[in-house]
A and B are shown apart, each in its own frame.
Chain A
Amino acid sequence: NAGVTQTPKFQVLKTGQSMTLQCAQDMNHNSMYWYRQDPGMGLRLIYYSASEGTTDKGEVPNGYNVSRLNKREFSLRLESAAPSQTSVYFCASSPDRGRGYTFGSGTRLTVV
Chain B
Amino acid sequence: RKEVEQDPGPFNVPEGATVAFNCTYSNSASQSFFWYRQDCRKEPKLLMSVYSSGNEDGRFTAQLNRASQYISLLIRDSKLSDSATYLCVINSGYSTLTFGKGTMLLVSP
Q: Which A residues are within 8 Å of any B CB, using their own CB?
A: 31, 33, 40-43, 45, 48, 50, 56, 58, 90, 97-106
Contacts and interface: CB of A to CB of B under 8 A. Distances in A.
A99 to B, nearest CB: 8
B31 A42 contact: no
Contact of B99 (A43, A97, A100, A104): A43
B31 A98 contact: yes
A101 B93 CA distance: 15
Contacts of B46: 100-102
B96 A58 contact: yes
Contacts of B34: 100
Nearest to A4: B43
Nearest to A98: B91
Interface residues of B, number: 20
B43 A48 contact: no
> Which 5 pairs across A and B sit closest by C-beta, in order of nearness?
A42-B101, A103-B43, A98-B91, A43-B99, A97-B95
Contacts of A106: 42-43
B101 A98 contact: no
A97 B44 contact: no
Contact of B49 (A31, A42, A97, A100): A100
A43 B89 CA distance: 11
B45 A97 contact: no
Interface in B83-105: 87, 91, 93-97, 99-102
Contact of A48 (B31, B32, B95): B95
A106 to B, nearest CB: 5
